[in-house]
């Protein structure tokens, strides 16, 4: 899911510092299927430093699944999960247990947004 992290010059220290300080994170994702091959891409950036190449990470990967049933929804979900896994890996590596940061993920697929909102509501009601 996070097969190839293309740009992470500083081992994620800028993003980790941002998470520790409670600063906002912005992320974008996209996924698609062409010729029965799924792929997805993502980027994570420090919101107040969007143009700084040292404050962002980008990744691309193939999307797992049976080519006969692979659809763009799976690729879109995979890119969103890759963002979350990446942030979780940064927090684990730098031992960040809590953060007041907000993470805004720009998603261009309404079905993915609906399913995420549904999962959040279920999680809130399970507590």
Domain spans in the chain, listed from the N-terminal domain onward: 4-126
Q: What's the confidence (pLDDT) of residue 25?
A: 94
Q: What's the confidence (pLDDT) of residue 7?
A: 58
Q: What's the confidence (pLDDT) of residue 30?
A: 93
Q: What's the confidence (pLDDT) of residue 22?
A: 95
Distance in angstroms (rounded) separating the CA atoms of residues 17 and 84: 17
Segments of the chain scoring below 50 in pLDDT: none
Q: What's the confidence (pLDDT) of residue 109?
A: 84
Show Cβ contacts of residue 90 under 8 Å, excluding neighbours closer than 6 positions.
12, 15, 16, 19, 96
Given a contact cutoff of 8 angstroms between Cβ atoms, the answer to whether 100 and 21 are in contact is: no
CATH architecture assignment, domain 4-126: 2-Layer Sandwich (3.30)
Q: What's the confidence (pLDDT) of residue 5?
A: 59
Q: What's the confidence (pLDDT) of residue 82?
A: 92
Q: Quick one: tokens of 11?
A: 């081992």
Q: What's the confidence (pLDDT) of residue 108?
A: 87
Distance in angstroms (rounded) separating the CA atoms of residues 40 and 2: 9
Q: Which residue has the tokens 């992320």?
A: 27
Q: What's the confidence (pLDDT) of residue 3?
A: 56
């Amino acid at each position: 899911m996070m097969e190839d992290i293309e740009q992470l010059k500083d081992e994620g220290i800028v993003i980790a510092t941002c998470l520790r300080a409670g600063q906002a994170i912005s992320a974008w994702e996209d996924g698609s299927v062409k010729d029965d091959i799924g792929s997805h891409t993502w980027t994570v950036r420090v919101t107040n430093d969007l143009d700084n190449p040292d404050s962002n990470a980008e990744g691309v990967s193939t999307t797992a699944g049976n080519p006969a049933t692979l659809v763009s929804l799976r690729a879109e979900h995979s890119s969103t999960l890759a963002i979350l896994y990446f942030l979780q890996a940064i927090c684990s590596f730098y031992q960040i247990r809590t953060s007041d940061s907000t993470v805004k993920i720009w998603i261009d697929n309404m079905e993915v947004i609906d399913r995420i909102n549904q999962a959040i509501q279920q999680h809130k009601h399970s507590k």
